[in-house]
């Protein structure tokens, strides 16, 4: 919901998918209420995947593999942005629950849909902060992926959201460490009753996300 709100406010046309058409339409209506100018509609998951040019995955991780089995044909050749982190909280500490088939969710998605252009992104931005449109965001979004052009495309999308900066973090295999950072941040949030994110110091704002060259 937070990403839908922020990207709709930035002028992106959005299709929200859900297993239930009614829930998808209700979510779209909620976004439209907060962002009256939004171009948004709700569809069932497979319809949404078929319609979209770029797909942002924010599914419950336990249902991911079943979704990939049915939706792979709609994801092939497309930019697929993975914003999921498999977490469980035990005694107020968040821990990763590694998905079957890969050391990270992003790598699992790429392995199951090898023709997709998978990029790990948005994993360290707190969802509660995203959903509060009155709150200015601050932080960096680490991008991991094996397709340079795909990372560049996601970088542009990230920087449509005021306060966020896209940072090229390299190949997709590094997504496992980005997911680990999320576990740490959630644990900090629980301990300190806060909404934390990350910022990478030492990189100039004027650098492009991919390749480290000046814009």
Q: Comparing 35 with 207, which gets the higher pLDDT?
A: 35
Q: For residue 31, give the nearest of 21, 20, 42 by alpha carbon.
A: 42
Structure tokens at 35: 């962002």
Q: Which helix (H) or strand (E) holds 179?
A: helix 175-192
On whether residue 21 sits in a domain, the answer given is no
Structure tokens at 47: 């319809």
pLDDT recorded at residue 210 = 60
Q: Quick check: helix, strand or coil at residue 44?
A: strand
Q: For residue 167, give the nearest of 128, 201, 127, 118 by alpha carbon.
A: 201
On whether residue 44 sits in a domain, the answer given is no
Question: Residue 163 belongs to a domain with what CATH number?
Answer: 3.40.50.720
pTM of the model: 0.94
CA–CA separation, 93 and 106 (whole Å): 23
Helices and strands of the chain, counted as H and E runs: 8, 9
Q: For residue 44, give the nearest of 24, 66, 14, 68 by alpha carbon.
A: 24
On whether residue 118 sits in a domain, the answer given is yes
Reported as a single tens digit per residue, the pLDDT across 71-103 is: 999 999 999 999 999 999 999 999 999 877 679
On whether residue 48 sits in a domain, the answer given is no
Domain that holds residue 164: 82-192
CA–CA separation, 209 and 215 (whole Å): 9
End-to-end CA distance of the chain: 31
On whether residue 3 sits in a domain, the answer given is no
On whether residue 40 sits in a domain, the answer given is no
Structure tokens at 169: 């973090």
Reported as a single tens digit per residue, the pLDDT across 160-209 is: 999 999 999 999 999 999 999 999 999 999 999 999 999 999 998 654 45
Reported as a single tens digit per residue, the pLDDT across 135-144 is: 999 999 999 9
Domains in the chain, number: 1
CA–CA separation, 213 and 206 (whole Å): 9
């Amino acid at each position: 919901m937070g990403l839908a709100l922020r990207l709709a406010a930035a002028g992106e046309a959005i299709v929200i998918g859900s297993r239930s058409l009614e829930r998808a339409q209700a979510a779209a209506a909620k976004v439209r209420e907060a962002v009256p100018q939004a171009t948004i509609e709700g569809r069932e998951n497979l319809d949404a995947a078929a319609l979209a040019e770029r797909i942002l995955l924010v599914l419950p991780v336990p249902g991911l593999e079943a979704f990939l089995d049915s939706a792979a044909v709609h994801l092939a050749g497309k930019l697929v942005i993975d914003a999921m982190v498999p977490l469980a909280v035990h005694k107020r500490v968040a821990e990763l629950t590694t998905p079957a088939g890969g050391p990270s969710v992003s790598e699992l998605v790429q392995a199951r849909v090898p023709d997709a252009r998978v990029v790990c992104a948005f994993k360290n931005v707190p969802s509660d902060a995203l959903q509060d449109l009155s709150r200015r965001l601050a932080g960096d979004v680490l991008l991991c992926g094996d397709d340079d052009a795909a990372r560049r495309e996601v970088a542009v999308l990230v920087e449509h959201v005021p306060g966020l900066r896209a940072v090229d973090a390299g190949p997709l295999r590094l997504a496992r460490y980005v997911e680990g950072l999320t576990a740490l941040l959630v644990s900090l949030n629980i301990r300190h009753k806060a909404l934390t994110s990350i910022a990478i110091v030492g990189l100039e704002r004027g650098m492009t996300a991919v390749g480290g060259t000046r814009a």
